Amino acid sequence: MGKAKDEGKAKDEKPDKAGKGGKARPTAAFDIDNPVFPDDLDERALKSGGYPYDDKLKRGAYEEQLQKLQLEFIKLQGHIEAKGERLVVVFEGRDTSGKGGCISRILERINPRHSRSVALSKPTDAERGQWYFQRYISHLPTKGDLVLFDRSWYNRAGVERVMGFCTEEQVARFLRDAPEFEALLVRDDIRFFKIYLTVGQEMQLKRFHERRHDPFKQWKVTDIDLAAISKYDDYSRAEAEMLRHTHTAVSPWTVINANDQRRARLEAMRVVLNRLDYAGKDAAAIGVIDPKITVSGAEYLDRLKTKA
C-alpha cells in the first residue's frame, strides 16, 4: 500500500522508545498487516488506559438495558417534536472509539423523519474558503428535530492538528472561538451535548487490526487511520488541550471510557436522557451514570494530572 502502509506498520529497525519502567510501547511490536493479533496486546486490551472492568458487559444484560433506553429515546423524540425543541449531540473521540456505534443505537428505533446523523467528509475548496464553522451550521436541526454529529467542528482540534492539516494559529483561533460558537447555540435554546469517547492504546490497536482484516469493516480504515497508529501520544496531548479550552459551564464535555463498546453505548444514551425532562420519563429504566467510566471533562483532566 506504499507510504500509508509503512506509516501504519511498526518497523523493527525503528522501535518506539521505551515508556515508564522500561516497557516498550505497544506499537513497537505491532504489524497491522499481520493477520494474527499479538497475544500480549490482546491480553492487555480491555484493561488498557486504566479501564476499571475485567470483563465486557454480557450481551443479554446489554440488550435488556439497550431496549429500555431506546424506548426512552422514543419518548424523548416525541416530546421534542411536540414542543418544537431542538437537540444536538456532538460525538467526538479517538479513532475506533465507537462514535458511530453509539449514534446508530440511538437512531435505530426513533423516527428518521425527525432525527439524523451528520458525518461530513473533508471540506471542498469552497468550504475551505469559508468561516470554519460555516459548513456545520446548515446541518443544525429545525424545531422538532434532533441531530447527532459523528465528528464535528472539533476536527480542527484533533485530526487536523495532529496530521498537520491546519496551522497552530488556526488551532488557537478555534480553541478561542468554539466556546463562543456553542454559547450562541445554547442561548438560542438548542439542547446541546458534547460526548468524548476515549479508548486505551492496546484496545485501539486491536480495533484497527480487526478493521484491517474483517472484510465487512475494511471500508473504515483510511490512510489517516493508518498514520494515526503511531500518533497515540500526539492525540493525547491534543485531546487534553481541547478539553482544557472548550469544557465550559455552558457547553461541558462528558468523557466516556469506551474500551467496552456495549457499556459506552449505554452510558452515552444515559448522559442525554438523564439531563432532559420529557413526558413519561422512567428514571428507573434509564438508570444512573457509571462514575468509573463516565466523567466530566474537568474530572477527566484531573485524572490525567494524577497519572502524569
CATH classification at residue 159 = 3.40.50.300
Residue 22 lies in a domain: no
Q: What pLDDT does residue 100 have?
A: 97
Q: Which of 74, 89, 70 is nearest to 266 (CA)?
A: 70
- Tell me how far apart the alpha carbons of residues 34 and 9 are, in angstroms, rounded to a whole number: 10
Q: What pLDDT does residue 7 have?
A: 39
Residue 258 lies in a domain: yes
Domain count, the chain: 1
Strand ordering across the sheet containing 294-296: 115-118, 146-150, 86-93, 190-198, 253-257, 294-296
Residue 133 lies in a domain: yes
pTM of the model: 0.90
One pLDDT digit (tens) per residue for the chain, 308 residues: 443 434 344 433 333 444 443 344 666 578 999 999 999 999 999 999 999 999 999 999 999 999 999 999 999 999 999 999 999 999 999 999 999 999 999 999 999 999 999 999 999 999 999 999 999 999 999 999 999 999 999 999 999 999 999 999 999 999 999 999 999 999 999 999 999 999 999 999 999 999 999 999 988 888 888 888 899 999 999 999 999 999 999 999 999 999 999 999 999 999 999 999 999 999 999 999 999 999 999 999 999 988 86
Q: What's the mean per-residue pLDDT of the chain? A: 91
SS3 at position 96: coil
Q: What pLDDT does residue 290 have?
A: 98
Residue 98 lies in a domain: yes
Residue 224 lies in a domain: yes
Would you state the cell numbers that stand for residue 260, as one nine-digit string? 467496552
What tens digit of pLDDT does each residue of 84-116 get?
A: 999 999 999 999 999 999 999 999 999 999 999
Residue 182 lies in a domain: yes
Residue 254 lies in a domain: yes
Residue 132 lies in a domain: yes
Q: What pLDDT does residue 4 have?
A: 40
Contacts of 144 (CB under 8 A, 6+ apart): 80, 81, 82, 84, 85, 86, 114
Asked if 176 and 156 count as a contact pair (C-beta separation under 8 A), the reply is: no
Q: What pLDDT does residue 244 have?
A: 98
Domain enclosing residue 165, as ranges = 37-307
- Tell me how far apart the alpha carbons of residues 70 and 217 are, in angstroms, rounded to a whole number: 25
SS3 at position 89: strand
Q: What pLDDT does residue 221 have?
A: 84
